[in-house]
Structure 1
Amino acid sequence: MLDTHARRLFQPLFDTMAYALGRRGIGPAAVTLSAALLGGLAAGALALGWPVLFLALLWLSGLLDAVDGTLARQGGLTSRAGAMLDIVCDRAVEALVIVAFGLRFPEARLELLVLCAAIILSLTVFLTAAAALPASVGKSFHYQAGLAERSEGFLFFSLMAVWPSGVPEVALVFALVVLFTAGQRLRSALGFFRD
């Protein structure tokens, strides 16, 4: 939801960053991979018990993830391969962060497993709709907005990092929000097919 509705507030920053990176000859794939590397380092920091470093690296990773697509569009370099790399790297970061929470908070592993199952179901809906429906404007695939997008995930991860005793409960609430989003997207996609 935030990715879709708040992006216009931050787009001038993304445009400026993308322009600066493009002028230095840095391509969108390099930015995507840098975002993934920072996300992996964030997961490592979390697993080692450094929540402040985790938060800084996670959000910096998210910032670069928002810039890579802008950079691709500015340079006329959008591609399905780039979109695929972006999606794979995003999911890799999220998986690593969930594993890091499981390592750091073993008492929450069941709830984190439920969260993983919810994410798998939601991604199945998202990706099958993306493959079957026409591409969205400015995207290489059909993008369905929903209650839980990447920014909401980062907010839940941040809450879990600063409230360690609440990790099991926050993970379950996160899972419910993800499942609700899957339902939203499934309903939207089925409605498109009926039209």
Structure 2
Amino acid sequence: MDTMPAASSPPSVPTLAQTRKARPGIEWASERVFRPAAQRLIDPFARRGVNPAHLVLFHTALGLYAAHSIRRGGRLTPALLLQVKTVLDNLDGQLARSTGQTTETGRYLDTEMDLVVNAALNMALVGRWGLPLTLLQSLILTVDYLWERDYRAARGEEFRAAPAQSRDNPQLLAALKAVYNAYFVPQEKLIGAVFERRLKARVGPAPTQTQRVAYTPQPITGIAANLGLSTQLLALGACLLLGRPRLYAASLPVQAALLVGVQVWREGQVPAEAERGS
């Protein structure tokens, strides 16, 4: 996401291409369903001066209520709420980008509120096993983050543009960064180190740019992107409607196994691609 203070409505509505976050791997559910739906809401929300940060808090509340409903045996209501939550989760970033309200605070807030909702949903599904399940889910999402980061780094591309605004509340931003550093950064460092070690084991201690490009083929970013949060909540909604909500929880280890398989596959691409480029 990207957020903060409300601004006056823009003279014209940006196109979907202008408000989406460009990525090498496309998440089908987000790009074909949720972002187009969110795009229709940008103009009315911008005209009313809606603060994207308030959207984050609102869709967080929807997600928590959906978790409460699941715990009480609800099916249709939480399934629908999660899809509304996902539309608004896409909208906050699109609104922030279209109205020049992107901030560091908004990015951290969105990420951490998603974590809160995910933990509540997983605990509603499987009780005390919900927290380990949330960690597994976080690791899956972290792989998506790292594969895009490494893809861009290997090609000299910018990974995350600087926020449009610097009017962050220092205390709030510091608190959000502390949470991020405590929970997400260790995952990023650990998994990132494993990926780097696997590459060096394959090609030696000093991988070339050609080898790094070969190690980060575009298809891996597409696979990881389609395990993104929009897809996760769409899948959970489908499982709820089928009356088998725990099927979603069971899918997470399968997703993790898929990513392990993709990792093994991309390691095998390095020598062949390196030879073509040499």
Fold similarity call, TM over 0.5:
yes
Q: CA deviation at 1:178?
A: 4.0
1:93 aligns with 2:117: yes
Structure 2 counterpart of 1:82: 106
Tell me the equivalent position of 1:50. 74
TM-score w.r.t. length of structure 2: 0.53
Residues 81 and 160 of structure 1, relative CA distance in 2, 3 Å threshold = same
* Compared CA separation, residues 3 and 80, structure 1 to 2 (3 A): farther
Report how far residue 31 of structure 1 moved: 0.8
Matched, 1:71 2:95: yes
Structure 1 or 2, whichever has the larger Rg, is: 2
Contact 2:103 2:163 in 1 (8 A): no
Shift of 1:91: 1.8
**8 Å contact 2:140–2:255 — kept in the other structure?**
no
Q: From the superposition, tell whether residues 74 and 183 of structure 1 become closer, same or farther in structure 2 (CA, over 3 Å).
A: farther
Tell me which residue corresponds to 2:140: 122
Q: Structure 1: 5+ residue runs without aligned partners? A: 104-108
Matching residue of 2:27: 4
For the aligned residue pairs, the C-alpha RMSD in angstroms reads 3.6
Report the CA distance between 1:3 and its aligned residue.
6.3
Contact 1:36 1:93 in 2 (8 A): yes
Question: Identity over aligned residues, as a percent?
Answer: 24
Alpha-carbon distance in 2 for matches of 1:3, 1:94: 22
Aligned to 1:28: 52
Contact persistence 2:37–2:87 (CA under 8 A): no
Q: CA deviation at 1:136?
A: 5.0
Q: Does 1:18 align with 2:96?
A: no
Contact 2:41 2:91 in 1 (8 A): yes
Partners of 1:64 and 1:3 lie apart in 2 by 19
Residue by residue over 1:104-138, the C-alpha shift from the partner in whole angstroms, topping out at 9 and shown as x without a partner, is xxxxx66x566434224324434556777542579
| TM superposition score normalised by structure 1 | 0.72
Q: Pick which of 90-99 and 174-183 moved more.
A: 174-183
Q: How far did residue 171 of structure 1 move?
A: 2.3
SS of alignment partner, residue 76 of structure 1? coil
Contact 1:125 1:185 in 2 (8 A): no
Q: Contact 2:70–2:124 (CA<8 Å) still a contact in 1?
A: yes
User: Is residue 234 of structure 2 the alignment partner of residue 155 of structure 1?
Assistant: yes
* Bigger helix fraction: 1
Taking the aligned partners of 1:100 and 1:85, their CA distance within structure 2 comes to: 23
How many residues are matched? 180
User: Which of 253, 272, 276 lines up with 1:175 in the alignment?
Assistant: 253
